[in-house]
Amino acid sequence: MHFYLYNVLCNGVGIENMSSAALCELYDEMDSLVRELSEELVLELARRDELGYEKELKNQFISLLLSVQRRHRALVDSKLRGGSAAGAGSSKAKDTPCTGSAQPGCVSYSRPFFYGFFID
């Protein structure tokens, strides 16, 4: 903190007892301090806006990802339901040890699985 400003704030020096030169110097120090703090405030507000925009983008990405996962899950469920009823006698069903979702606790390892998505 600047000397005169510190002196006025901490030591209780009244401005009515200060000379005009000291008052001018105090004014200049306060003016420069206000400019410095204003620049810092502008930078912090810009950073806050950037973080808000980044947060909004991340939320949109998460929403889209969840939507894709729901659609994928629904597609897989519909294929399992449709495939187990219609194609129970198919050769692919005979190759896998566990078919459909009728057997709880049994996981089919016929296709690679990565974060909720089957990889072909």
Domain range enclosing 10: 1-64
What integer is the mean pLDDT of 36-64? 96
Could you count the other beta carbons within 10 Å of the beta carbon of residue 13? 15
pLDDT at 59 over 60: yes
Q: What is the rounded average pLDDT for all residues in the chain?
A: 75
For 83-107, b where at least 16 C-beta lie within 10 A, e where not — what string?
Answer: eeeeeeeeeeeeeeeebbeeeeeee
pLDDT at 119 over 90: no
Place of tokens 């949109």: 60
In a domain, 25, yes or no: yes
In percent, the amount of the chain with pLDDT more than 90 equals: 40
In a domain, 60, yes or no: yes
What integer is the mean pLDDT of 26-39? 92
The total number of structural domains that make up the chain: 1
What integer is the mean pLDDT of 29-42? 94
pLDDT band per the 50, 70, 90 thresholds, residue 35? very high
In a domain, 8, yes or no: yes
pLDDT band per the 50, 70, 90 thresholds, residue 74? very high
In a domain, 103, yes or no: no
In a domain, 87, yes or no: no
The more confident residue out of 46 and 93 is 46
Predicted structure pTM score: 0.48
Specify the pLDDT at position 10: 65
What integer is the mean pLDDT of 9-28? 78
Specify the pLDDT at position 94: 47
In a domain, 93, yes or no: no
In a domain, 14, yes or no: yes
In a domain, 5, yes or no: yes
